[in-house]
A and B are shown apart, each in its own frame.
Chain A
């Protein structure tokens, strides 16, 4: 709600950029091997997981060399077979010692290799799992890409399951994640840009977009916003999300996150960008609109009637989780005339023995439920079932029998709880979860009048939101009729000719006009009849 205050403090992040690059001395490498080794040791505090293996290659000339890598981050087999072995066994009879260039060109059968002359470049390479080769007498080191080590395999996504659709989910490795999307969109226009964010963590962050479909100004804006970030660590994409959002103090998410490669691919095709962060399976997507949070990937694979019905259901579910208890409070404390007589009598009978006003009753139940829910998440899996038993007995039965709450209230809380789980996007469900309490307060204060006030504020707020400049409520407000085909309704795919107007720029034609509605060619006779005629 505080978006009433448009004047933003502009002092935020002004002095970024200057001191950013100034870490580790920018001195060049020494030509003496021992000095280099010593320098690495002092800089890393002699860390035990740094492996420094010194040896002599071209023994005839007594050339001392050393390779340095991090245990666990590198693929030890690669280091063994493709670096150490060729170097040690190279025993040419030629008169000249092997030069650095020879090594790269002739001896080491590894793909990604480069020469490093500066400590500034050396340490990041080392820390990301590269193996560094020093040769005595050269002030240049070879950095070879030998990243490896333990990784989680590609599994079915945990949070966004789909009945029909790919079973692949992102992992914690950024390379794997990018490759998963590349496998779906096999097109050179799929561009990526990688940068490191985090003064200490040096986290790899990759922007991915489809050149020509995504709007260049949005990508430029994203780049700018990412460059401004100067924090010590990025542990999850949620960290970045909070720094690059348009409206950072809203209850509603203005970036979407997904752990499904197919969802990311679909969004890229609509002109959105994807932001991969190393170390998390959640990929950020933007710019997003409100209706997107009610969509699920399998909407597009089912018949469109069914998908539309399901989307309506999700909107209903969102509203229930938002105003379910508030409606109950308003109806039972202010607008008893709205409840059918028989139902009112039934509710009144239950309320007879309850010592609290309905608002307090609702609050107790909602808070209890939130506690149970939070406990359920934190609990070790083995005790998880205990929570459900306690929950069912405590809220469901004992509280009712003790006359602390009415059964109707339990029903309301239960429906609300189920509804908040049925919302497809967790981030929008969690906003509803919080706003529900505000609605309860406004309902307890002014009844439906208060709820309507709350709604007006909510709608105004939603309409004021932007996601990378794209109006959050579009295509509903501003109203774009052409885009309505994929909002709360999901029209047939063949009718969905254009990409969303604000998100993809001028290149917004998704399918050619001739595609149209698929139908068999006009024929007056049935196929079987024709066959009969021929005989």
Chain B
């Protein structure tokens, strides 16, 4: 009996001692990667730029007053033929284990996206056990990915956080950008009825000032990343950009608008009446007949009057109805412009193909191979928009109607 207990305890002890904290990684031995940037150099090799967090400089000062004195991040880069090689080569420069679980941003340069596409890159990230496929993907628009990664940002100390939050916030409030996660890109890449659409980022100012702490010491940082357009992809390669109102039209069509603001001209004044969109629902449908496709977009939206620059009688339902028509026209034109641009690039970023797949599965089997070129690009577009003005804000008629 005693011997058996003894043996059991010995085995238990061995289990603990021999394994010796199996695959333990202390926090002090980890280099937390917050963002990954990928460029293409002249030799056609990948250049990976990794942003590492300096934890002590991110959080407030509590020990030895370290907070805020140094850079919140450090950036290293390495060159290689594939992502894995870059990651391994990074070991010659970084003293700790690279830890990707908290990398929430992947920046791909437009040059790389144009020449090689995103297909060869994403597999490495998708395959890695620690890298999250919920990481946000953005395309560096007219900038190097490395420069975006290097730029220090104010308010949000982690540049990666800044980019992600900026994207999320602008998607929610302005609607001309999309927060696209890696998993979305991969889903679109494997979907034959939809092509990926990824937000672009530009660097305002020069990269050399952006990487210095002095950049964020000023009240107006000289260099800062800004949201800039949406990148259209086709078969995993960048084929073009849309921005401004067109970009918003694309987001409308994708049913991703949360809130935005529409202006119309009135009484000769440009952008005289503003509508704050508070909710919307967009549905798309496609029908294919006689080798031609018909794309239908139906938008139902509600909003409040946000601003009037000219006196209008908002108590009058006819006036409201008139305004609603104007807003409808505006939204319609934005959506049409976006679809037209996509048609010109022959890439169905909206998922009209998926709509065919759902409604006419047999037809889809036949036409899916050349959907983009033969059907989508030549399709007729029909957009129907329904705008409803829910409220007029705190005032009915503006004081402008009584102003002398």
CB of B32 within 8 Å of the partner chain: yes
CB of A351 within 8 Å of the partner chain: yes
A131 to B304, CA, bound (A): 99
Residues of chain B within 8 A (CB-CB) of A403 are: 63
B19 touches A344 (CB 8 A): no
B27 touches A445 (CB 8 A): no
CB of B218 within 8 Å of the partner chain: no
CB of B403 within 8 Å of the partner chain: no
A336 touches B56 (CB 8 A): no
CB of B1 within 8 Å of the partner chain: yes
CB of A188 within 8 Å of the partner chain: no
Residues of chain B within 8 A (CB-CB) of A332 are: 26-27
A337 touches B102 (CB 8 A): yes
B101 touches A336 (CB 8 A): yes
B53 touches A345 (CB 8 A): yes
B1 touches A341 (CB 8 A): no
CB of A24 within 8 Å of the partner chain: no
Contact indicator per residue, chain B 71-112, by CB within 8 Å of chain A (1) or not (0): 000000000000000000000000000010110100000000
Q: Provided the pairs A344-B32, A441-B16 are in contact, do residues A352 and B24 lie with their beta carbons within 8 angstroms?
A: no
Q: What are 17 A-B residue pairs whose CB atoms fall within 8 Å in the complex?
A: A4-B8, A7-B1, A332-B27, A336-B101, A337-B132, A344-B32, A345-B32, A349-B55, A350-B63, A352-B28, A353-B64, A358-B26, A358-B27, A359-B21, A401-B63, A444-B21, A445-B15
Query: Nearest chain B CB to A503's CB is how many angstroms away?
Result: 32
Interface size bracket, A side = 35 or more
CB within 8 Å of A: which B19-61 residues: 19-28, 30, 32, 34, 53, 55-56, 58-59
A336 touches B62 (CB 8 A): no
Query: Nearest chain B CB to A177's CB is how many angstroms away?
Result: 39
A341 to B99, CA, bound (A): 12
CB of A18 within 8 Å of the partner chain: no
CB within 8 Å of B: which A327-368 residues: 332-334, 336-337, 341, 344-354, 357-359
Q: Count residues on chain B whose CB falls below 8 Å from chain A CBs.
A: 36
- A positions within 8 Å CB-CB of B: 2, 4-5, 7, 9, 332-334, 336-337, 341, 344-354, 357-359, 400-401, 403, 407, 441-442, 444-447
Closest 3 CB pairs of A and B: A337-B101, A349-B55, A348-B55
Residues of chain B within 8 A (CB-CB) of A2 are: 5, 8
B59 touches A336 (CB 8 A): no
Query: Nearest chain B CB to A334's CB is how many angstroms away?
Result: 6
> CB-nearest residue of chain B relative to A453?
B15
Residues of chain A within 8 A (CB-CB) of B23 are: 334, 447
Partner of B59, one of A334, A349, A445: A349
CB of B360 within 8 Å of the partner chain: no
Residues of chain A within 8 A (CB-CB) of B190 are: none
> CB-nearest residue of chain A relative to B67?
A349
A346 touches B26 (CB 8 A): no
> CB-nearest residue of chain A relative to B103?
A341
CB of B130 within 8 Å of the partner chain: yes
Residues of chain A within 8 A (CB-CB) of B130 are: 337
> CB-nearest residue of chain A relative to B63?
A353
> CB-nearest residue of chain A relative to B4?
A5
A407 to B32, CA, bound (A): 20
A108 to B200, CA, bound (A): 109
Tally the A-B contacts, defined by beta carbons under 8 Å: 93
Query: Nearest chain A CB to B124's CB is how many angstroms away?
Result: 18
Query: Nearest chain A CB to B239's CB is how many angstroms away?
Result: 33
B27 touches A348 (CB 8 A): yes
A354 touches B102 (CB 8 A): no
B25 touches A336 (CB 8 A): yes
Q: Provided the pairs A345-B53, A346-B59 are in contact, do residues A334 and B25 lie with their beta carbons within 8 angstroms?
A: yes
A507 to B245, CA, bound (A): 80
Residues of chain B within 8 A (CB-CB) of A351 are: 26-28, 55
Query: Nearest chain B CB to A486's CB is how many angstroms away?
Result: 37
A358 to B63, CA, bound (A): 18
Query: Nearest chain A CB to B27's CB is how many angstroms away?
Result: 4
A345 touches B58 (CB 8 A): yes
With contacts A346-B59, A350-B63 known, what are 16 further pairs, Cβ within 8 A? A5-B1, A7-B1, A332-B27, A333-B21, A333-B26, A341-B104, A344-B27, A344-B102, A345-B32, A345-B59, A348-B53, A349-B58, A352-B28, A359-B21, A407-B62, A444-B24
Partner of B22, one of A347, A348, A400, A445: A445
Query: Nearest chain B CB to A105's CB is how many angstroms away?
Result: 62
> CB-nearest residue of chain B relative to A351?
B27
A336 touches B64 (CB 8 A): no
> CB-nearest residue of chain A relative to B57?
A349
A346 touches B55 (CB 8 A): yes
A276 to B8, CA, bound (A): 39
Q: Provided the pairs A349-B59, A354-B28, A407-B62 are in contact, do residues A445 and B1 lie with their beta carbons within 8 angstroms?
A: no
Partner of A352, one of B20, B56, B101, B102: B56
CB within 8 Å of A: which B147-190 residues: 158, 161
Query: Nearest chain B CB to A14's CB is how many angstroms away?
Result: 17
Query: Nearest chain A CB to B126's CB is how many angstroms away?
Result: 16
> CB-nearest residue of chain A relative to B62?
A407
> CB-nearest residue of chain A relative to B25?
A333
A345 touches B21 (CB 8 A): no
> CB-nearest residue of chain A relative to B12?
A1
